[in-house]
Structure 1
Amino acid sequence: MLFRKAARQDVPSIVKLLANDKLGQLRENDTDPLPEAYYNAFEAINKDPNQELIVVESETGDLLGTLQLSFIQYLTYRGGIRAQIEAVRIREDVRGEGIGQKMIEWAIERARERKAHTVQLTTDKQRPDALRFYEKLGFIASHEGMKLHF
């Protein structure tokens, strides 16, 4: 598997992955042509040195999964950096093959390279399989997260 920074031409495939579950179907729009807002978001992410939109390819160049890794500078923890993993998606036909575990392990190693002191993520409570997956990889539900959507 190849882990690489996403390119603009990957955006439709990434959005398709994001839309491929019951929650993603409610919030994503993977029509053709893809709404320009996705490309605008990609450009903003791509320009930000603290954001890494990653895709995972097979040896034959097929896109297998994606994740976004954000590095957040804090004053706490003596000016520490937290790494936030978001939008982890794996192509439906290759789930269960260990790709997700390799993706998270890659993200953790990348966080270490960037000198992060913590790796954190959130998963929707409506995704119990994802919660079990992250717990199996050593993540602990140590905090209660809250969101306010606009």
Structure 2
Amino acid sequence: MRILSAIALSLALLSPTAAFAQSGKEAILYKNPQCGCCEGHAKHLRENGFEVKVVPSHDLPLIKQQQNVPPELAGCHTLLVDGYVVEGHVSATTIKKLLEERPEVKGISLPGMPLGSPGMEGPKLAPFEIYAFKADGSTSLYVTE
């Protein structure tokens, strides 16, 4: 039994993704009660090691305002994870990058509901531009995927 535990620990240390999955980053996803694509995004995150609690809310504009999300970066839903705000259908890969790098930002956003993003069915029509934003409303390009 101890040998199996040692092997599992060794594999987790060798693989950042495996270690991340074992840590089970907790996230809260606020969404419109009628929105199905948000459930698709939550499923994508769960499949990539996140523990996601979905909270239906009719107060999304207020939640976005409380989290200092610039109106031009508003996405379909708002995710809170490990001290950051993630707006819209941002991939688990990019969220993990954010959590590993820990930049001094309030959060990141993929504005709107682009086809082909996690949770949005359809073909990806163009590269996705993910923006970082600070509490003061300033924004910058974080990553293109």
Bigger RCO of structures 1 and 2 (CA < 8 A, at least 6 apart): 2
TM bucket normalised to smaller: 0.3 to 0.5
TM-score (norm 2): 0.32
